[in-house]
């Protein structure tokens, strides 16, 4: 950095923080965030620009999975620093002209925020100047039904997101909340779950003797969690 340059301080919500509030114009009307989503999970995600190929592939994929996310009580909200008319034109083009990996005639019905002022993007640390000063990076914020930031994932401009992973992360967090457990690497419903580390010698001993808990050592204990029970509770099926 040059001597006289002033570096802007960018804020970034942290896991456990209340989601920063804003009102915004979107392709589905005005939203008041996160208030309008109380009682639901919401994924707020940014993309660099309308009418770009990676973003187009992402929007088609996310829109095709929207019902799956809805079943898990999760709404989607997109954002870029483009204007409303650009958003509308791009979404119409996607529906009318673009075919990708068997997806076609895809209608994006979740709100896409116009953020020309970068007001929202800056609140959520979506502008990362050393990557690009005029475009948002690919940020993903998971916000829970109480409006708390529970996870965030950032990708650079060149890297399209893995939407199966976003869905897996959502279900894993919901499962952790519902059953008071943690989920190990690559967990999917039906896999064993992790019991949090024992906080006392007594608990550690009890766990080692509990026939429903499988302890490899006092600190590494798992238990079975039936896939149907997870799906029943989390997806209310
Ligand atoms: C894209 O979505 O294709 C893209 C957007 C900005 C930079 C690079 C790629």
Domain extent at residue 225: 180-234
16: which residues sit within 8 A by CB, 6+ positions away?
148, 149, 150
The residue whose CA is least distant from atom 1 of ligand 1 is 54
Q: Please identify, by atom number, the ligand 1 atom nearest to the C-alpha of residue 160.
A: 2
Instruction: Map tokens 């009418």 to a residue.
Output: 51
Are both 199 and 134 inside the same structural domain? Answer: no
- 221 lies in some domain: yes
The two tokens of residue 108 are 């994006």
Domain boundary among the residues 127, 161, 195 is at: 161
Q: Is 132 exposed, middle or buried (CB count within 10 Å of its CB: 0-12, 13-18, 19+)?
A: middle
Q: What pLDDT is recorded for position 167?
A: 98
End residue of a domain, out of 101, 131, 161:
161
Q: Examine residue 212 and state whether it is found in any structural domain, yes or no.
A: yes
Q: From edge to edge, which strands make up the β-sheet containing 213-217? A: 193-195, 220-223, 213-217
Verify that 51 and 83 share a domain, yes or no. yes
Q: What is the pLDDT of residue 112?
A: 98
**What stretches of the chain adopt beta strand conformation (E)?**
22-26, 29-33, 41-46, 74-80, 112-114, 138-143, 149-155, 193-195, 213-217, 220-223
How far is ligand 1, taken at its centre, from the CA of residue 140, in Å?
Answer: 16
> Domain check: are 149 and 40 in the same one?
yes
CATH number at residue 128: 3.40.30.10
H helix and E strand count, the chain:
7, 10
Measured from the Cα of 56, ligand 1's closest atom is 2
- Nearest alpha carbon to residue 54 among 155, 124, 142: 155
If asked whether residues 35 and 127 sit together in one domain, one would say yes
Whether 174 maps to a domain, the answer reads no
Q: Are residues 156 and 185 in the same domain?
A: no
Residue 95 inside a domain? The answer is: yes
Residues in contact with ligand 1 (CB, 6 Å cut-off)? 48-49, 52-55, 135, 157-158
Choosing from 46, 156, 157 the residue with most ligand 1 atoms within 8 A of its CB, the one to mutate for a pocket test is: 157
- Please state whether beta strands 41-46 and 149-155 pair in parallel, antiparallel, or not at all (unpaired): unpaired
Ligand 1 atom closest to Cα of residue 58 = 2
48 with 98, same domain: the answer is yes
Question: From the centroid of its chain, how far is CA 156?
Answer: 16
Q: Are residues 143 and 214 in the same domain?
A: no
Tell me whether the omega of the peptide bond preceding residue 14 falls within 30 degrees of 0, making it cis.
Answer: no
Do 154 and 43 lie in one domain? The reply is yes
Query: Does 55 participate in catalysis according to the annotation?
Result: yes
Residue at a domain's end among 161, 190, 208: 161
Q: How far is the CA of 49 from the centre of ligand 1 (A)?
A: 7
Residue found under tokens 């640390």? 125
Q: What is the pLDDT of residue 198?
A: 84
Whole-Å CA distances, 207 to 106, 115, 127, 217: 50, 52, 47, 10
pLDDT of residue 235: 85
> Does residue 199 share a domain with residue 124?
no
Using the mean position of ligand 1's atoms as its centre, give its distance from the Cα of residue 160 in Å: 9
pLDDT of residue 9: 65
Sign of CA dihedral 84, 75, 191, 187: positive
In a domain, 63, yes or no: yes
Into how many domains does the chain fold?
Answer: 2
186: domain CATH number is 3.30.1020.10
Tell how far the Cα of 172 is from the centroid of ligand 1, in angstroms: 29
Kindly report the backbone phi and psi dihedral angles of residue 162, in degrees, each rounded to the nearest multiple of 5, phi listed first. -100, 105
List 55, 74, 201, 221, catalytic entry: 55
Whether residue 166 lies inside any domain: the answer is no
* Claim to verify: residue 153 and residue 222 sit in the same structural domain: no
Residue 111 in any domain: the answer is yes
60 part of a folded domain: yes
pLDDT per residue rounded down to tens, the chain (237 residues): 566 666 666 678 999 999 999 999 999 999 999 999 999 999 999 999 999 999 999 999 999 999 999 999 999 999 999 999 999 999 999 999 999 999 999 999 999 999 999 999 999 999 999 999 999 999 999 999 999 999 999 999 999 999 999 999 999 999 999 999 999 999 999 999 999 888 899 988 888 888 999 999 999 999 999 999 999 988 875
Query: 121 and 77 share a domain?
Result: yes
Considering the domain architecture, whether residues 30 and 68 belong to the same structural domain is answered as yes
């Amino acid at each position: 950095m040059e001597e006289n340059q002033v570096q802007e301080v960018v804020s970034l919500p942290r896991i456990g923080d209340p989601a920063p509030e804003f009102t915004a114009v979107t392709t589905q009307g005005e939203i008041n965030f996160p208030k309008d989503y109380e009682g639901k999970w919401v994924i707020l995600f940014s993309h660099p620009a309308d009418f770009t190929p990676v973003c187009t592939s992402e929007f088609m994929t996310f829109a095709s999975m929207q019902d799956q996310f809805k079943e898990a009580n999760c709404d989607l909200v997109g954002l870029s620093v483009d204007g409303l008319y650009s958003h509308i034109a791009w979404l119409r083009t996607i529906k009318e002209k673009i075919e990708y990996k068997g997806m076609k005639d895809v209608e994006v019905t979740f709100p896409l925020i116009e953020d020309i002022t970068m007001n929202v993007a800056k609140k959520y640390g979506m502008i990362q100047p050393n990557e690009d000063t005029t475009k948002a990076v690919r940020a993903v914020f998971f916000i829970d039904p109480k409006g708390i930031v529970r996870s965030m994932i950032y990708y650079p401009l060149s890297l399209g997101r893995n939407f199966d992973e976003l869905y897996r992360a959502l279900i894993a967090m919901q499962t952790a909340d519902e059953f008071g457990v943690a989920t190990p690497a690559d967990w999917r419903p039906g896999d064993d779950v992790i019991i949090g580390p024992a906080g006392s010698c007594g608990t550690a001993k009890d766990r080692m003797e509990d026939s429903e808990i499988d302890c490899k050592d006092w600190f590494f204990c798992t238990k079975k969690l039936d896939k149907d029970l997870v799906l029943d509770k989390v997806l209310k099926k």
